[in-house]
Amino acid sequence: MSATELDIQQSYGTLDVEEERQLSESKRQLVLNMGPQHPSTHGVLRVVVTMEGETIVGSDPIIGYLHRGVEKIGETRRYSQFTPWTDRTDYVAAPQNNLGYILAVEKLVGITATERAQYWRVIMAELSRIASHLVWLGTHALDIGALSMSLFCFRERELILDIFEKFCGARLTTNMMEIGGFSRPIPPGLVEMVESFLKIFPEMQQEYVDLLSANPIWLARTRGVGVIEPQAALDYGLTGACLRGSGINYDIRKAQPYLIYDRIDFEVPIGTRGDVYDRYLVRMEEMRQSLRIIRQCLDQVPTDGPLMRHDSNYCIPPHDTVLRTAEDMQRHFVWVVKGFNAPKGEVYVAIEHSKGELGHYIVSDGSAVPYRLRIRTPDFVNLQVLPHMAQGSMLADMVALIGTIDIVLGSVDR
Amino acid sequence: MGLIDNRFEKNVLTTSVDWVFNWARRSSLWWLQFGLACCAIEMIAASMPRYDLSERFGMLYRATPRQADLMIVAGTVTKKMAPVVRTLYEQMADPKWVLSMGSCANVGGPFDTYAVVQGVDQVVPVDCYVPGCPPIPEGLYYGILELQNKVIKFETFAKRYGRDEAERERERDRQVARSAIAGTDAMIVSQSAGFGEPSDNSFPRAS
Amino acid sequence: MSQDPAKKEQNTPEEATATGVESTVVGPKDDPADKPTTDNQRMHVEASPASEISDADEADSAEARAQLAAMSDPSIPVIEPAHDMTGVQIIDPVWVHSGYWGPLDENIHPAVVAIRSAFPGVVKEVTIFRDEVTIHVVAERLAEVALLLRDDDALAYSHVSDLTAVDMLGLRRSPRFDVVVTLYSVKHRKRLRLKAAVEEGQRCPTLTGVYKAAGWLERETYDMFGIIFDGHPDLRRMLLPEDWDEGHPLRKDYPIRGYKQYVQPGYENPAPRIREPRRP
């Protein structure tokens, strides 16, 4: 039969390589659906992969399976009420989401928190950065095949979740930041818990490094895989470890410092090649730098002083005076039931989230409810680079690529 | 199961045998690894060293619904995801149970919006509801223990309706299966070869 | 928390409040005003609730507070409020003088100057709020403006942070939407916001030729608002199912609960709902 009319159904054996090359594209390519329910996609991500043999020639991530309408909810809730929904966008690092939103509201109304509260905000944010990186490392290594890594990482994460539980009562969806600081005092024993975590964690991290960093299997599966060139990284709007792994130095904590990051001495790790291994190294080093930041914060934090600024219309009055004085009780009632009217205008505040740049854009029309609340999540923009990275790689690398972008579907879909 | 099924009158031995099967079912519930949102992280934490759901309860997670008997719906079910949940539920083999974890799966949670199904029980029948947002791993334990109490009471058809009714049901299923393959050119097994009448205690039995 | 530790520690209200337990017995010696606690230094003078003081009394009330402070115990610190209880806010300088968005004067801001010189008539307005600079441009020229901002060495806005839209239905009659682009310059560490007003049904030029990141951001904007971007390679719905026919959710006239409830085909008896039927 002629080569151009090779009909697969007629042939009962395998095809020669020459015959296969002469097949039309539609018969040669296979479209595979890595569906919403998949053990390796981190949540409900669906990737439709077009392959020739084992090589990926095209991929199309389909998201939206967790779209819950959080931005629409933001238009119906008052500023102080909206914080719990920010927890649920990126649920592995909830305090940082709270922080980003609260900073945006504070910029809108023009206040800053007290100094002691700012230090504690940084401590909580850095702890949640470590927690987020632990989830990333555990699931990333689990997908690639190092099954025991997930057990180790979640064991350390439990220590951090204990700290959160002592501080605010919840492990995962913390809802801890408030406009102007913190409304409840620091519980006794919390500083000791954080100190003991700082003592324990470096050895544990050394265990991960021993398991993975020089492991030939790990190197073979991550070196040279998923390379993003620096110019492509900027073009695709990547932020966070994806951008820094490609060699571009952009960390909002250094470039446009917020809270008290300008008083803290830390380094920003930058990669060289932009592959999965470099991003892994960048995130491991970020965990160590977070420990350094927490150490300095604990040394510098004022041990007494207010946690909440209480001379402003926009902040919740302190707990003890609400229960004792009439004026503060009235203020509390009005603040909770009616809310405050924010000034008219629009703000955009970006913080360095563990996954990249988390930005909140609030448009206010002068009422107690935001007019438009936009959450610019890092994963949503970072995920766009997946087809670019997957082009030409093998199907088995697809799980490594999805893992290295570090996505959380609640944050992608909101 | 077919070996001793319906060989005895409805007596204590059959009931105890049922109990043995149900005990086996509840002690090794294999759950479908199906996490949607925040509750999935707590579900994963429940199977990690501190809480250790898998090893202590005999629960193993399987990635494919064909091998699972428990589906823990952990997280928000959106309108885009609901048909997928239903498909997974239908792919699971009987007996199967569904545990709805977290307030999003119970009633839609804090998301009463255009894109969210208000509760997974609008999509699949649910056996146990675990409240929380997210429920801490011990909360998930409580739900699973309650579900195990439900599993141990799971009855076979024969025990509930009597042996004759069980046989009639079985004959109806066989007729349906036969008519489904009647038009194709697959081999039809002869109706009398090896398939005894209900009162025939021949060995082995096809059920 | 039990009340017993509190009763034992009545003499040290600092510890009592540090454990978060409120001491319920307050005697003449235990007046909290005498002992400032560690965690919550309380304001000594209390002004009237916000709604009752008018703007004109601002100077008077500060004076009144100073007088009150002078009359009372000098050992208690008087906290000078940075924010008046009237709600007239004094903005913390951190949010105004950070310099993260460039100079707060439209005549010297390099981006504004460059756009005005390269494309006369394209800049409609420049608004400045807190430390942010927003340039309102004509929608048709958005892509050219972005290209200039990206390629000019002195500006080098190489990164698009965010691309979204705002439905201005409650704020102005027309045009209906504002497409908002937030840019960032990695080299110079400056942010900038561009806004383009787009009428309903009007197409906005796409920025995918300038920044690849705009691909998904514009898809999401189309999904949520219905704004069609001219020249986008792959404009289809992203966060909602691709065959969603109920409209564009983030518009102001779209009810938060949506229009239709989900009915699972093939499942005749879903669990009944106790509450009343859904109202948009």
- Interface confidence (ipTM) of the complex: 0.87
Residue B150 has pLDDT above 90, yes or no: no
Sheet holding A55-62, edge to edge: A29-34, A46-52, A55-62
Q: Which residue among B42, B63, B81 sits closest to A65, beta carbon to beta carbon? A: B81
Q: What are phi and psi of A182, to 5 degrees?
A: -125, 140
Tell me how crowded residue A241 is: count the other CB atoms within 10 A of its CB.
30
In terms of Cα–Cα distance, which of A243, A218, A240 is closest to A231? A243
Query: Would you tell me which residues 93-112 of chain B have a C-beta closer than 8 angstroms to some C-beta of chain A?
Result: 110-111
Q: What is the pLDDT of residue A120?
A: 94
| Contacts of A among chains (3+ CB pairs under 8 A) | B, C
Sheet holding B31-32, edge to edge: B61-62, B31-32, B70-74, B97-101, B128-130
Domain presence at residue A48? yes
Put simply, whether C129 touches A (Cβ < 8 Å) is yes
The residue assigned the tokens 């500006």 is: C155
On chain C, the residues whose CB falls within 8 A of the CB of B113 are 256-258
Q: What is the pLDDT of residue A43?
A: 80
On chain B, the residues whose CB falls within 8 A of the CB of A37 are 34, 65, 84, 88
pTM above 0.90, yes or no: no
Q: What is the pLDDT of residue C145?
A: 92
**Tens-level pLDDT at each residue, chain A (414 residues):** 444 445 554 555 666 667 666 666 667 788 888 888 777 667 888 999 998 888 898 899 999 999 999 999 999 999 989 999 998 999 999 999 999 999 999 999 888 888 999 999 999 999 999 999 999 999 999 888 888 888 999 999 999 999 999 999 999 998 898 898 898 888 999 999 999 999 999 999 998 888 888 889 999 989 988 899 999 998 899 999 999 999 999 999 999 998 899 999 999 999 998 899 999 999 999 999 999 999 999 999 988 888 888 767 788 888 878 888 888 888 889 888 988 888 888 999 999 999 999 999 999 988 889 999 999 999 999 999 999 999 889 988 888 899 899 889 999 998
Chain C residue with minimal CA distance to A374? Answer: C164
In sequence order, the β-bridge partners of residue A374 are A361
Q: Are B6 and B163 in contact (CB under 8 A)?
A: yes
Residues A376, C189: C-beta atoms closer than 8 Å: no
- Do residue A31 and residue A139 come from a single domain? no
Q: What is the pLDDT of residue B78?
A: 92
| Of the listed ranges A216-220, A325-329, B132-136, C24-28, the one predicted with least confidence | C24-28
Residues A68, B111: C-beta atoms closer than 8 Å: yes
On chain B, the residues whose CB falls within 8 A of the CB of C242 are none
Which ranges of A338-408 would DSSP assign to H, the alpha helix?
378-382, 386-390, 398-405
Query: What is the total count of domains within chain A?
Result: 2
- Do residue A123 and residue A54 come from a single domain? no
On chain B, the residues whose CB falls within 8 A of the CB of C273 are 118-119
In sequence order, the β-bridge partners of residue C198 are C177
In terms of Cα–Cα distance, which of A222, A241, A270, A269 is closest to A406? A241
CATH no. for residue A121?
1.10.645.10
End-to-end CA distance of chain A: 55
- Which tokens sit at C178? 């504002």
C69 band by pLDDT with thresholds 50, 70 and 90: low
On chain C, the residues whose CB falls within 8 A of the CB of B83 are 264
- For B68, residues 6+ apart whose C-beta sits below 8 A from its C-beta are B30, B31, B32, B61, B62, B92, B96
Residue B82 has pLDDT above 80, yes or no: yes
Residues A88, B36: C-beta atoms closer than 8 Å: no
Residues A110, C130: C-beta atoms closer than 8 Å: yes
- Do residue A46 and residue A108 come from a single domain? no
Of A62, A84, A99, the domain-final residue: A62
Which ranges of A213-325 would DSSP assign to H, the alpha helix?
216-222, 230-235, 241-244, 252-255, 276-300, 319-324
- Do residue A86 and residue A9 come from a single domain? no
- Do residue A107 and residue A42 come from a single domain? no
Put simply, whether C36 touches B (Cβ < 8 Å) is no
* Average pLDDT of the segment spanning C49-71: 48
Select C95-230's CATH number: 3.90.1150.10, 2.30.42.10, 3.30.460.80, 3.40.50.300: 3.30.460.80
* Range of the structural domain that residue A366 is part of: 72-376
C71 band by pLDDT with thresholds 50, 70 and 90: low
Dihedral, B184, B185, B186, B189 alpha carbons, nearest 10: 100
User: Which among B76, B79, B117, B128 is the top mutation candidate for probing chain C, defined by the most C β-carbons within 10 Å of its own β-carbon?
Assistant: B79
Q: How far is CA A59 from CA A398, A409, C20, in A?
A: 10, 18, 54
Put simply, whether C274 touches B (Cβ < 8 Å) is no
- Do residue A140 and residue A53 come from a single domain? no
* Distance from the Cα of residue C12 to its chain's centroid: 42
Q: Which residue among B80, B113, B122 sits closest to C264, beta carbon to beta carbon? A: B122
Put simply, whether A95 touches B (Cβ < 8 Å) is no
- Of B197 and C174, the structure prediction assigns the larger pLDDT to C174
Q: What is the distance between the alpha carbons of residues A129 and A353, in angstroms, rounded to a whole number?
A: 7
* Distance from the Cα of residue A125 to its chain's centroid: 11
In sequence order, the β-bridge partners of residue C166 are C178
Domain presence at residue A392? no
Query: Would you tell me which residues 28-87 of chain A have a C-beta closer than 8 angstroms to some C-beta of chain B?
Result: 35-39, 43-44, 64-70, 72-73, 84-85, 87
Q: Which residue among C50, C90, C212 sits closest to A236, beta carbon to beta carbon? A: C212
Q: Are A344 and A201 in contact (CB under 8 A)?
A: no
Q: What is the distance between the alpha carbons of residues C29 and A47, in angstroms, rounded to a whole number?
A: 70
- Do residue A188 and residue A298 come from a single domain? yes
Q: Which residue among B35, B50, B110 sits closest to A84, beta carbon to beta carbon? A: B110
Put simply, whether B133 touches A (Cβ < 8 Å) is yes
Q: What is the pLDDT of residue C62?
A: 57
Ramachandran sector of residue B179 (left: φ over 0; alpha: ψ -120 to 50; beta: rest):
alpha
Q: Which residue among B38, B45, B63 sits closest to A173, beta carbon to beta carbon? A: B38
- Of B105 and C76, the structure prediction assigns the larger pLDDT to B105
* Average pLDDT of the segment spanning C23-48: 36
Cis peptide before C233 (omega within 30 of 0): no
Each residue of A173-207: b (16+ CB within 10 Å) or e?
Answer: bbbbbbbbbbbbbbeeeeeebbeebeeebeeebee
Q: Which residue among A256, A331, A340 sits closest to C100, beta carbon to beta carbon? A: A256
- Do residue A97 and residue A33 come from a single domain? no
The residue assigned the tokens 């952990």 is: B74
Domain presence at residue A295? yes
Ramachandran sector of residue C156 (left: φ over 0; alpha: ψ -120 to 50; beta: rest):
left
Chain C residue with minimal CA distance to B77? Answer: C262
- Do residue A98 and residue A34 come from a single domain? no
Q: What is the distance between the alpha carbons of residues C46 and C49, in angstroms, rounded to a whole number?
A: 9
Q: What is the pLDDT of residue B182?
A: 61
Put simply, whether C72 touches A (Cβ < 8 Å) is no
Element housing C136 (H / E): strand C132-137
Q: What is the distance between the alpha carbons of residues A312 and C79, in angstroms, rounded to a whole number?
A: 12
- Do residue A208 and residue A76 come from a single domain? yes
Burial class, C127, CB count within 10 angstroms (exposed 0-12 / middle 13-18 / buried 19+): middle
Put simply, whether C250 touches B (Cβ < 8 Å) is no
- How far off is chain C from A119, nearest CA to CA, in Å? 14
- Which tokens sit at C212? 């690849």
Q: What is the distance between the alpha carbons of residues B16 and B11, in angstroms, rounded to a whole number?
A: 9
- Which tokens sit at C158? 């190489």
Residues A43, B37: C-beta atoms closer than 8 Å: yes
Q: What is the pLDDT of residue C50?
A: 37
User: Which among C237, C251, C257, C264 is the top mutation candidate for probing chain B, defined by the most B β-carbons within 10 Å of its own β-carbon?
Assistant: C264
User: Which among A45, A67, A334 is the top mutation candidate for probing chain C, defined by the most C β-carbons within 10 Å of its own β-carbon?
Assistant: A67
Q: Are B26 and B152 in contact (CB under 8 A)?
A: yes
Q: DSSP for A323-338?
A: HH-HHHHHHHHHHHHT
User: Which among B41, B51, B64, B76 is the top mutation candidate for probing chain A, defined by the most A β-carbons within 10 Å of its own β-carbon?
Assistant: B41
| Of the listed ranges A103-107, A153-157, C35-39, C220-224, the one predicted with least confidence | C35-39
User: Which among B122, B126, B127, B128 is the top mutation candidate for probing chain C, defined by the most C β-carbons within 10 Å of its own β-carbon?
Assistant: B122
Q: What is the pLDDT of residue B178?
A: 67
In terms of Cα–Cα distance, which of B151, B207, B113, B110 is closest to B24? B151
Domain presence at residue A158? yes
Put simply, whether C209 touches A (Cβ < 8 Å) is no
Counting one residue from A and one from C, how many pairs have CB atoms under 8 Å apart?
Answer: 183
User: Which among B111, B120, B140 is the top mutation candidate for probing chain A, defined by the most A β-carbons within 10 Å of its own β-carbon?
Assistant: B111
- Do residue A57 and residue A205 come from a single domain? no
Residues B113, C257: C-beta atoms closer than 8 Å: yes
- How far off is chain B from A174, nearest CA to CA, in Å? 11
Q: What is the pLDDT of residue A131?
A: 94
Q: Are C278 and B130 in contact (CB under 8 A)?
A: no
Put simply, whether A92 touches B (Cβ < 8 Å) is yes
| Contacts of B among chains (3+ CB pairs under 8 A) | A, C
Q: What is the distance between the alpha carbons of residues B140 and B101, in angstroms, rounded to a whole number?
A: 7
* Distance from the Cα of residue C37 to its chain's centroid: 34
Cis peptide before B204 (omega within 30 of 0): yes
Q: Are C205 and C231 in contact (CB under 8 A)?
A: yes
Q: How far is CA B85 from CA A101, A229, B91, C206, in A?
A: 33, 39, 10, 36
Domain presence at residue A413? no
Q: How far is CA A258 from CA A83, A86, A160, A251, B167, in A?
A: 19, 19, 24, 11, 74
On chain C, the residues whose CB falls within 8 A of the CB of B86 are 264, 266-267
Residues counted in chain C: 280
- Do residue A165 and residue A218 come from a single domain? yes
Q: Are A366 and A343 in contact (CB under 8 A)?
A: yes
Dihedral, A53, A59, A64, A65 alpha carbons, nearest 10: 10
Domain presence at residue A390? no
